[in-house]
Structure 1
Amino acid sequence: MEKPGKKIAVGRAAAGLSVFIVIVVVLSFSSMNQLEHRALLNAGLAVIDRFTSRTSRTAPSSNCSAPLPAFRLLIGILTLPQKYERRNLLRLVYGLQTPKIAQIDVKFVICNLTNEEHLAFIALEIKRYEDIIILNCTENMDGGKTYTYFSSLPHLFGPTPGTRSPPYDYVMKADDDTFVRLAGLEESLKDAAREDMYYGFLAPCDNMDAFTANYMAGMAYVLSWDLAKWIRSSNYAKSHQVGPEDLLVGDWFRAGKVAKNRYNNKPTMYDFPGAVGPDHTCSHDFIPGTVAVHRVKRNRDWLLVLSYFNYTKDIKPSSFYHIP
């Protein structure tokens, strides 16, 4: 059933339209001069403007507001300045994924720039995409970059007037050779704890007990926002930055007796099928419920990942290209 206010608004708009039609008819058959024509026409337009503005003000505002996301997640992909090709590939990969229930933002995380080419080209990326975070550190893998990333977030994304606090429910650290499937990620996070939460691929590979294990593997792991704030305030974390970054994060939490809500996402997080390395890897075939695939190193590997999950299908036909 329509609301009375809506009927009144529609009626007023219709009345205004009728007035305008009458004016047009009068103008068509009268002998007024040009100035008189213009004055009367402006009067008719003013009537229309009054009635249409009333109609828009009386429309229910709830129909125009988007629903709040189930949660908000920042994905920080730790990468190197010179990896332009990889960043552009990942922009396509994440840009073609549309979260259904969550707000998911993706940023690329690098340390201070010292190379002139990097400065110039990354400046172009910032101007075009605005998805780069440059931390105050010297580029490294296990020399404190992960600590700088997490400890910088509360300052970089701190609450500002008119914004929600905290700005994100979760923050993720991911490698640039990890494919994160957003549909699987948001489904696995929708009912997870919003505080004191530590989520990822439990290391070592054969361990399934999230409460006796040391850490989540560095391929991609998620922390609740309060843990990022805890890292920033922790003297222990600040004084233990150098070493295998994923193992250190687990060590910080064990020493601080935090991160009690833990989520082990095996087998949906895994190494690329057939991946080999100096350590035993947790590798298996692709599965439909995948959250993340690690060690996607070569373009051929990305081809297989994207093909399995149908990212290259359903291209709209066009006379501008022919793709069999």
Structure 2
Amino acid sequence: MHMAVKSSKPNRRRFIFSCFVFIFFLCVFASINQVRFNGILKFGRFALSNESLPTNEEEVRILISVLTIPDQYLRRHFLRLVYGTQTYEGAKVDVKFVLCNLTKEDQKVMVGLEIMRYNDIIILNCTENMNKGKTSTFFTTLPDIFNGVGPYPPYHYVMKADDDTYVRLNSLVMSLRPLPREDLYYGFVIPCGSMDPFKHYMSGMGFVVSWDIVEWIHGSDIPKKHVEGPEDKVFGDWMRWGRRGNNRYNAKWYMYNYPDPPSVCSHQLWNDTIAVHLLKNQDKWIRTLTFFNHTHPLNPSKMYHTC
């Protein structure tokens, strides 16, 4: 007696069709979320491992612009030591200090001496301020200063940083090398509890944009009509209203506030840090530099005994 065997072909067809539908919806979902997914994936791979990522062969050019005020002479000298003693590979990094117009005779003399010696100061045509347009004036002015001098773009990335932020240059370079060089908006996401770079904006402790965004700010009416308010929030408004910065990368928690006092924006110092913010006094700077062994490469010499 032969028993009837039910054909498995209909089941196989249904299975194949179900797989096809599932893959189709995955593709649609990935397409909708492509920018966010790529940002999280690429930065996550950098942050969580030391694997070498695909990199652009061309040397990456980065401008770090430290917004400060004319009378902060000692802070600028200290930051020159901090940034001038760091090593990094595969990049050209320039650190410039950004001021508004000088208003006193001593400023003109002292800042003039700094310019003659270091040539690392940008003086904007503005009245010194924090939240009334200095950041707007800075980004608007950059193309007039640097376009037409050397290669184009003069910098692939521009970082706006506070003068109480310690940026570890090699970590910054490593994190930027595999990222897009257009339409990029990178930093520490606000609010502090969020990990979504599309949520609001990047903290003013130190955010990075690509050069095409700098040029867009230079020519767009959006920044010109909205200049007052917390400078990092205002910048985020520009990105949202202008539909710019679609390549967004959250560098949290490799950028963070100093752990004392503890807050939702801070955590303990750790080795893979890109930037530490709120170094408001010398003690915090010294503790931070000591943690990262900043002076470890000091060469032995008969001229000094540091132990």
Query: Residues 69 and 103 of structure 1 are in contact (CA less than 8 Å); yes or no, is this contact kept in structure 2?
Result: no
Task: Name the SS of the counterpart of 1:139 in structure 2.
Answer: coil
2:293 partner amino acid: N
Alignment partner, residue 258 of structure 1: 244
1:219 and 2:240 matched: no
CA gap of 1:132–1:264, structure 2 versus 1, over 3 A, is same
> Equivalents in 1 of 2:300, 2:178: separation in Å?
40
Matching residue within 235, 251, 268 for 1:285 = 268
Task: Name the SS of the counterpart of 1:73 in structure 2.
Answer: strand
1:239 partner amino acid: K
> Equivalents in 2 of 1:187, 1:317: separation in Å?
29
Q: Select the structure with the greater relative contact order (CA < 8 A; seq sep ≥ 6).
A: 2
1:169 and 2:156 matched: yes
The Cα of 1:70 is off from its aligned counterpart by 2.9
**Aligned 1:185-204 pairs, distance under 5 A:** 185-204=172-191
Alignment partner, residue 268 of structure 1: 254
Identical amino acids, percent of aligned pairs: 51
> Equivalents in 2 of 1:185, 1:69: separation in Å?
16
Matching residue within 137, 140, 143 for 1:151 = 140
Alignment partner, residue 108 of structure 1: 97
1:81 partner amino acid: P
The Cα of 1:275 is off from its aligned counterpart by 3.1
**Aligned 1:70-109 pairs, distance under 5 A:** 70-109=59-98
CA gap of 1:69–1:89, structure 2 versus 1, over 3 A, is farther
Task: Name the SS of the counterpart of 1:105 in structure 2.
Answer: strand
The Cα of 1:281 is off from its aligned counterpart by 4.4
> Equivalents in 2 of 1:139, 1:115: separation in Å?
12
Alignment partner, residue 5 of structure 2: none
> Equivalents in 2 of 1:311, 1:281: separation in Å?
27
> Equivalents in 2 of 1:196, 1:148: separation in Å?
20
CA offsets per residue over residues 264-297 of structure 1, 9 Å max, x none? 0011000001236xxx541101111100000011
Task: Name the SS of the counterpart of 2:97 in structure 1.
Answer: strand
> Equivalents in 2 of 1:69, 1:93: separation in Å?
26
CA offsets per residue over residues 241-276 of structure 1, 9 Å max, x none? 010000001101111111100000011000001236
2:89 partner amino acid: K
The Cα of 1:136 is off from its aligned counterpart by 0.5
What number of residue pairs does the alignment pair up?
Answer: 252
Alignment partner, residue 57 of structure 1: none
CA offsets per residue over residues 157-215 of structure 1, 9 Å max, x none? 0124xx2111110111000000000111011101111000000000010011112x110
List structure 1 runs of 4+ shifted beyond 2 angstroms.
Answer: 312-322
> Equivalents in 1 of 2:126, 2:264: separation in Å?
30
- Name the TM-score, length of structure 1 as normaliser: 0.75
Stretch deviating more after TM superposition (261-270 or 95-104): 95-104
Query: Residues 193 and 264 of structure 2 are in contact (CA less than 8 Å); yes or no, is this contact kept in structure 1?
Result: no
Q: CA RMSD in A?
A: 1.4
1:259 partner amino acid: G
Matching residue within 226, 240, 248 for 1:240 = 226
Matching residue within 313, 316, 323 for 2:296 = 313
Alignment partner, residue 207 of structure 1: 194
Query: Residues 275 and 281 of structure 1 are in contact (CA less than 8 Å); yes or no, is this contact kept in structure 2?
Result: no
1:220 partner amino acid: G
Task: Name the SS of the counterpart of 2:287 in structure 1.
Answer: helix
Larger radius of gyration: 1
Task: Name the SS of the counterpart of 2:238 in structure 1.
Answer: helix
Task: Name the SS of the counterpart of 1:109 in structure 2.
Answer: strand
Unaligned ranges ≥5, structure 2: 1-56
CA offsets per residue over residues 45-73 of structure 1, 9 Å max, x none? xxxxxxxxxxxxxxxxxxxxxxx753101
